[in-house]
Amino acid sequence: MRMRPTLTWEPTVGLPPASTDLSAVAEAVRGGGIAVLSGAGLSTESGIPDYRGEHGSLQRHTPMTFQEFTGDEQARRRYWARSQLGWRAMTRAHPNTGHGAVTTLAGAGLVTGVITQNVDGLQQSAGLRDVIELHGSLSRVICLGCRRTSTRAELDRQLREANPLFEETAERHRAARVNPDGDVDLPEEAVREFRVVACTACGTGVLKPDVVFFGENVPPERVEACRRLVDEAAALLVLGSSLTVMSGLRFVRRAAESGTPVLIINQGPTRGDRWAAHRVDLPLGQALTALVALACP
């Protein structure tokens, strides 16, 4: 499954209207067997912007593609310089009430598993371990040569040692807004002299965050795990995703085509609305706090 570089979509006419009433969603959740598909909207209340909302990062930032990252040394330098600052901002983010509510629903036996499109690790930080990271995690780094994986914290130490003068740049841009893919916008002069390090295991391999870039394939075994979770679910609950990217949308379509109800809670329309049995338009923290109160015994 390849992450198609679809950045925008236009809502079509004739979609079912959204509601602010959670009662139908709560009734379905009370029955249990719920698979959750979460997106960037679940993390906005933790200070990480989404891609396509009112203040989404796509209004000022285009995510790097896999082809650009692997084919352009300067592009990699720019990515890692921006990511070096963005990673620090990501590590300061904390789970919000929405993440906590999903963990509570899972602890009550109502949610059987979570597929997250997010790469921030906040759902796991909220205490839920049974999470399929569809697009990977910023906390890991992979060598494109020998395929060794290591921690982002380890790479952070190496990049600090290789770029001691970057600390001054980092301090000047401390307030820069982090993007959902873990980097920040920096002026070109701030990244021109940034030194990128190679894999310490093989000595030459290009290091890449262990996330699925636009234009890259989602690992097939991960896709299959998501399919099994959706196929075995009594309902699919979509949280905070516009479903613009096909890698997430296809699970909505799969559920609907097999007769599994699709429930969507998101601020604004989504690309999957036509397949939704119920769609609620509310902020995620507010909606999920209320959902826990309505659904949990």
Confidence of residue 49 (pLDDT cuts 50, 70, 90): confident
Q: pLDDT at position 33, please?
A: 98
Confidence of residue 170 (pLDDT cuts 50, 70, 90): low
Instruction: State phi, psi for 258 to the nearest 5 degrees.
Output: -95, 5
Q: Are 75 and 215 in contact (CB under 8 A)?
A: no
State the burial class of residue 65 (Cβ atoms within 10 Å of its Cβ: 0-12, 13-18, 19+): middle
Q: pLDDT at position 58, please?
A: 43
Q: Are 16 and 276 in contact (CB under 8 A)?
A: yes
Architecture in CATH of 1-6+17-48+95-135+214-297: 3-Layer(aba) Sandwich (3.40)
Confidence of residue 57 (pLDDT cuts 50, 70, 90): very low
Q: 246-277 pLDDT, tens per residue?
A: 989 999 999 999 999 999 999 999 999 999 99
State the burial class of residue 252 (Cβ atoms within 10 Å of its Cβ: 0-12, 13-18, 19+): buried
Count of all residues that appear for the chain in the document = 297
Q: Is 278 considered catalytic here? A: no
Confidence of residue 171 (pLDDT cuts 50, 70, 90): low
Nearest to 264 by CA among 252, 246, 254: 252
- DSSP code for 138: E
Q: pLDDT at position 60, please?
A: 43
Confidence of residue 59 (pLDDT cuts 50, 70, 90): very low
Q: pLDDT at position 180, please?
A: 61
**Which residue has 């890259």 as its token pair?**
216
Candidates 55, 61, 94, 135; catalytic one = 135
- DSSP code for 180: T
Q: pLDDT at position 52, please?
A: 47
Q: 12-46 pLDDT, tens per residue?
A: 556 667 899 999 999 999 999 999 999 999 999 99
Residue scoring higher pLDDT (92 or 113) = 113
Q: pLDDT at position 55, please?
A: 44
Token output for 232: 């075995």
Nearest to 126 by CA among 100, 91, 93, 90: 100
Q: Are 201 and 125 in contact (CB under 8 A)?
A: no
Residue scoring higher pLDDT (202 or 176) = 202
